[in-house]
Structures are given as structure tokens and as C-alpha cells.
Amino acid sequence: MSVADIAAHLRCPVCSEDVTAEPRRLVCVNGHSFDIAKQGHINLLNAGQPRNADSADMVAARLRWLETGAYTPILELVADMAGEGPGPLLDVGAGPGWYAGKLAARLHRPVIAADVSVPACRTAARLHPELGVVVADTWKGLPVRSGAIRTLVCIFAPRSPFEFTRVLEPGGQLVVVTPLPEHLARLRETAGLLGIDPDKDRRLADLAERGFTLVAEREHRATVTAEPARVADLIAMGPNAFHDHGDLTEAGDDLVPVEVAVKVTSWRRD
């Protein structure tokens, strides 16, 4: 996406006015200005990066794990549900852009990747120059124009139903990936990983009360095997990185079984 194309879908995080593209920056009518980084991403955080945002090490670990192919079936389910179309697709919590880049290539659609982590957005812009990459905080309000998005995907990321309703056009689509209880179950037991929120299903169902209608639901279950170093990456790429779970690389060369179990749901904005 060109800078002008990206700007056509964005708004100022300070005053909520539309932004326009100028050489090397975006500006709004009230004079708020946002530089375009040399890597190509745009920082639209109206504050510093949160302390729990992914670090550069977490981003690198995420890429190494995703490149194993263990989550490729999840990507395929999301792509099938999102489908091709002329409207823009927004990936919220996009991380280093692994899903967003592949969705853009498969669906032949313009894709905006948003994440609160500066290292993640820097990596996404470097690896996928075809994307529009924006540093943004879903909880504090997406810097996206109301009704500007045709499809929004949220893959293992925090959800803000109010913001999702606002940025999606009427009849627009929301695709959500959430873990099932057995996801990474063996690792949770042996490595003491953080548990899955027991209210996750209820909060997902709450979308029906926030202006969304459930259209489709599919599940994916598989047990994959991975080298201990890659399993260590799986642990290090998310919230578990902030806790000590031991050194899995000391387990030797034996492959480690990993349960992958997710639900993919598609919702229509009413």
C-alpha cells in the first residue's frame, strides 16, 4: 500500500480528524504530525509504548516459531473465512506481520497491520513492504476512520468490540482466532505456562451483544512436533516470556509434542 492509500483509512490519534499524506509524514487539519519511519511503518501511538508490548527478542522468537509451519493451518482457515474482496483488511495485533503478509498475498487485498509493539511493526514493515504498518493501541482507540474497514482479523490478540464495531463498515466482517482449552495443554502442565482465560468463550460470545452476528465457526486440532529450541521460541514469543519456565534447550535433541487447538469464528457487523 502507498502512504496515500494507508492515510485514506487512518485518523489522528490525538483529535480523531482524518490524516493526509505528505512526504515522510502524515498530518491532520489541526497540525498533528506523525513521521513515517525509514522502514516504512507509522507510529500513531498517542503515548509511549506499553511496558508489556512485545520486545525485539519476543518478535524474533515469534517469527522463528511461525516459520515452522505449525500455525499454517490457522492461517488457511482465516484466509478461507476472510476471502477475496476489494475492501481493505485490518489485522489487529499483527505482530511481525507473518499472517498479514500471507493474507495480502493469498487474498489479493490491501492489508493494514496494526500492533502496539514498535519492534514488531518495524519488522513487519521491513519484511512486508506491501503492507500498511501502523503502531497503534487497540485499547486506547484504533487510529482508523470509522467505517473504513471491510474485514478485520484478530488472531490470538486482545479484542475491543466497541472499536471493532466503529472501524468496520456496516456488513463488514470480523474473523477471530481464540485458543481452545487443550491448546498447548502439555506445555502448560510441564513448563508451567500461563493458563487460558476461563472467561474467553463468554467474552467471545459477548460479540453478539456488541453489534455482531455469528456467521461461521470452525475448529482446528493437531499435535505437531518441534525441536526444543523452537518450543522455547513458542514460550518466549508471548506473555509467558515475562516468566521463568526453565531452559527447554537442555532437553536434548528429542522432538517435543505440541497440541494446537483453536477456534476460528467469523462475525458480521450489523
Domain containing 195 equals 39-269
In a domain, 73, yes or no: yes
CATH number of the structural domain spanning residue 78: 3.40.50.150
The answer to whether residues 42 and 7 touch, using CB atoms and an 8 Å cutoff, is no
The predicted model scores a pTM of 0.93
**210-255 pLDDT tens trace:** 999 999 999 999 999 999 999 999 999 987 654 454 555 555 568 9
Residue 244 contacts by C-beta under 8 Å, 6 or more apart in sequence? none
121 belongs to an annotated ligand binding site: no
Q: Is residue 25 in some structural domain?
A: no
Quick one: DSSP state of residue 180?
A: -
29 located within any domain: no
Using alpha carbons only, give the angle 197, 177, 132 rounded to the nearest 5 degrees.
Answer: 120
Residue 190 domain-assigned (yes or no): yes
pLDDT bracket for residue 196 (50, 70, 90): low
Domain membership of residue 6 (yes or no) is no
**Run of H or E residues at 235:** helix 228-236
Is residue 23 situated within a structural domain?
no
H or E element at residue 56: helix 56-66
Residue 12 marked in a binding site: yes
Is 181 inside a domain boundary?
yes
Total domain count, the chain = 1
205 part of a folded domain:
yes
pLDDT value of residue 265: 97
